[in-house]
Amino acid sequence: MKKFTFENKNFCLTVGENAIAESLVYKPSGEELLMQDEEIPLFSVTQLRPFNNEIKLIYMNKRTAFQASKIAVEGNRILVDFEIVPYQAVVSFEVRDEYMTFTLEGFIVPAEFYPDYMCMDLPPVEEFRLLQLPVRHRANFGQWINAVWDDAASVCVLAANPEAMIDSEKHRNYRVLTATAKKEVQLKGTSAALIVSGGEEPFLHAVDSLERDLGLPLGVESRKNPLLNRSVYWTLDLCPENLDEHLKYAKMGGFQFMLLYYECMCPKAGYGTCGDYSISERFPGGYEELRETLQKIKAAGLIPGFHFLHTHIGKYTKYVTPVCDGRLSTIGNYSLAAPIGLESEDIYVCENPHNAPMHPDRRVMRIGGELVTYEGFTTEPPYRFYGIRRGYWNTTVTAHGRGDIGAIMDVSEYGASTIYVGQNSDLQDEIGQEIAKVYDCGFEFIYFDGSEGAIAPYEYHVPNAQYRVLKKLGSTPIMCEGAAKAHFNWHHLNGANAFDVFATDEFKEMLDRHPLAEAPLMAQDFSRLDFGWWAFRTDTRRDIYEYGTSRAFGWDSRISMMASLNCFAEHPRIGDILEVLRRWEHARALKLFSAEQKEQLRKGGAEHTLLINEEGNYELVPYFPVEGAFSGGANLWAYVFERRGRSYALVWHNSGSAQVKIPLSGAKYERDLGKDVLPVENTEDGIALTVEASAYLSAEISLDAMVAAIQKATVI
């Protein structure tokens, strides 16, 4: 059997004439990377059913994938034949030093197989599998970038343009890496790349070469930015009047980034104003005043960012009322079986509406430019929607004729006050242009919130909606995060998914369950996540922020704190909490701690505190909470640790102050280690002191004895 070889400096791919990939060798080591006995063809084609009359009569009429059966190579093109279906695919390829690309050019269709009476576009292809390789398991699999890798070698099937659908299928000893072109997105011109390289650094070098050659966003270069692990101060109410106050708190916490929610400078009415990126009255000087404000943020040493929901259109915007824009996403259409006048009445339709939404906030139908809601529908003829309310969301009531289309709106499940953008229209580009007007006032990073609010196929529209906005911006953001990720946005998101708000009493548990669980997965994608968002509350404690930011530090990741000026003003321990964050942010900037220390910080459940020791240096120590501290005194907290032959208790009152008596003698009480000794009253049965802001109690006793003393302590 004839064989074809595709080779560059890193790999040699051998494919038989039968379209089976026989071998993929990493040349520097000579290692075979494929699971060779699986005999998976390199290509396949999928149809909704057989269309040729003779084939239709023999085989099942269902969605079917037909595997490649034969290939031939002519110059830089591969001609692909398939089992059963009578046409060829033409795949062009290009071999470069660091990668190889495969691009679907089109199909060759013999005229005799589709007679003239078949009036259809040929061939009837729904999907074309552009590449599929059974790659042996290695230590790591990056699900986002679609790479199997370890320190010795890596194999990656990567999208070479946004239209390539990249995925993998896990098997016992191997993983099939795939690239697919879909008709609903694009067939001809869809391109994917095969990268085979060494470990992490050589692999990323190869990806960087591909990104530069193909004009893609530079995901590798952006991940090298030393600022990417610095944390974010988030606000939804910053304006010129309170700017100085926000800057004060941001600097107290040592933050590098300040993220402004769109409601800071755009119309403010919850999700209902998504899509309206005009400048509101909070900035009476308009875009120019926004520019001045952003310049003041930069002058204070912070980098301003713009947080928006680019795929959501709010119910209060011009795109919804008074005439609903036809470019908004819909999820089902119904033909009117009878005309509708201006008064509310049942809506008779030709199709069975059994799949129409029934959640009370998502029963929204557009007829022309009018929105209506319904209470229910019948699933037996005559089909009708009943309990109709006309002119929903202040749209204009109009009459509608028989045969008009009632389209069910794709109302967001998050609050049901927005509708998703129809990604197959030009509306996303229009919204991107409006976002760019705001961003170009001086913002330098962005957060793509609501990214999951796209239409299927999500693996295409989630990243491409972001990409369409990104291309409108006047400058490349130094940091991009998003609330949802899929393969292609690895190139333009250099961090992903800040986790949503966790309540104080569940904070540590939820941090372990979610961001701490995702962090090692993100590391396999050469990426970091955001351990925030952390809403600052009146019951926020220093230990939960220290726990969260120390775990993030272990994974070279950041946190985002959601600021509340009211809570800051009311919280007596705001200074302590922001000092915790400042220390860890400073340690990030200094790149402190060894790999072994970082490994300790990655463990869930373990807790560490960052001290400033007697010499003025940062010192990392594990510490432990004291259960039942101060005999259960209200809002009194204590953690213990050992160092330099002494046992310590870090104590504080989270909402005020308290006089306590501790059965302990010979103790030292300090605001900070080595300075600011606090008064202690010695009594016959122990010591009495005032607990308010964070302070350290120490004695030359065992840690168990310190724990026992703190537990037996009482509030005077």
For residue 656, pLDDT over 80 is answered with yes
Closest CA to 67 of 124, 15, 18, 13: 18
Question: What is the per-residue pLDDT for 410?
Answer: 97
Q: What percent of the chain has pLDDT over 70?
A: 100
Task: Extract the tokens encoding 585.
Answer: 């942010």
Question: Element (H or E) spanning 660, and its range?
Answer: strand 658-662
Over residues 53-57, the mean pLDDT reads 72
For the beta sheet containing 147-149, the strands, ordered from the edge strand earlier in sequence to the opposite edge, are: 140-142, 147-149, 154-159, 191-197, 100-108, 88-95, 77-82, 64-74, 44-47, 127-136, 174-182, 165-170
- pLDDT range class, residue 249, cuts 50, 70, 90: very high
Whether residue 120 is predicted with pLDDT greater than 80 in this model: the reply is no
pLDDT, tens digit, for every residue of 551-594?
A: 999 999 999 999 999 999 999 999 999 999 999 999 999 999 99
In this prediction, residues 23-36 reach a mean pLDDT of 97
Higher pLDDT, 503 or 409: 409
Could you tell me which of 282, 627, 643, 228 has the C-alpha nearest to residue 444? 228
Structure tokens at 608: 């560490």
**Environment class of residue 608 by beta-carbon count within 10 Å: exposed (0-12), middle (13-18) or buried (19+)?**
buried
Neighbour-count burial for 635-654, b at 16+ CB within 10 Å, e otherwise: ebbbbbbbeeebbbbbbbbb
For the chain, state the CA radius of gyration.
31
Q: Side by side, which strands form the sheet with 370-373?
A: 330-335, 405-409, 364-367, 370-373
User: Do 673 and 651 touch, CB atoms closer than 8 A?
Assistant: no
CB distance 308 to 435 below 8 Å: yes
393 vs 85, higher pLDDT: 393
The tokens of 491 are what?
């190139």
pLDDT in the model for residue 659: 96
User: Which pLDDT score, from 0 to 100, does residue 685 have?
Assistant: 87
Share of the chain above pLDDT 90, in %: 90
Residue 251: the pLDDT is: 98
At 616, is the pLDDT very low, low, confident or very high (cuts 50, 70, 90)? very high
Q: How wide is the angle at C-alpha 479 spanned by C-alphas 149 and 314, nearest 5°?
A: 115
Predicted confidence band at 52 (pLDDT cuts at 50, 70, 90)? Answer: confident
Q: State how far the Cα of 271 lies from the Cα of 181, in Å rounded to an integer.
A: 35
Confidence of residue 110 (pLDDT cuts 50, 70, 90): confident
Per-residue pLDDT at 484:
94
Could you check whether the bond before residue 490 is cis, i.e. omega within 30 degrees of 0?
A: no
Q: Looking at residue 117, what is its pLDDT?
A: 73
Q: Which amino acid is at 10?
A: N
Number of continuous H segments (helices) and E segments (strands) in the chain:
14, 44
Residue 482 has what pLDDT? 94
Check pLDDT > 80 for residue 114: no
Of 102 and 52, the structure prediction assigns the larger pLDDT to 102
The pLDDT confidence band at residue 362, using thresholds 50, 70 and 90, is: very high
Average pLDDT over every residue of 652-679: 94
d(CA 587, CA 579) in angstroms, rounded, equals 12
The 10 Å Cβ neighbour count of residue 534 is 26
Residue 648: which pLDDT band, with cuts at 50, 70 and 90? very high
Q: What is the pLDDT of residue 269?
A: 87
Work out the number of other CB atoms within 10 angstroms of the CB of residue 129. 23
Res. 66: pLDDT tops 80: yes
- Predicted confidence at residue 445, as pLDDT, reads 98
Q: What is the pLDDT of residue 500?
A: 77
User: What is the arithmetic mean of pLDDT over 339-357?
Assistant: 95
User: CA–CA separation, 668 vs 681, rounded Å?
Assistant: 11
Mean pLDDT of the chain: 95
Q: What is the pLDDT of residues 196-208, one digit of tens each?
A: 999 999 999 999 9
Question: How far from the centroid of its chain's Cα atoms is residue 51's Cα?
Answer: 41
Q: What is the pLDDT of residue 609?
A: 98
Cα 237 from Cα 564, distance rounded (Å): 9
3-state DSSP of 508-542: HHHHHHCHHHHHHHHHHCCCCEECCCEECCCCCCH
Whether the CB-CB separation of 166 and 158 falls below 8 Å is answered with: yes
Q: Residue 544 pLDDT > 80, yes or no? A: yes
pLDDT digits (tens, 9 = 90+) for 205-228: 999 999 999 999 999 999 999 999
Q: What is the pLDDT of residue 632?
A: 86
Give the pLDDT confidence score for residue 311 in this predicted structure. Answer: 98
- Quote the pLDDT of residue 137: 98
Query: pLDDT tens across 446-461, in order?
Result: 999 999 999 999 999 9
What mean pLDDT comes out for the span 681-702? 94
Q: What is the pTM of this model?
A: 0.94
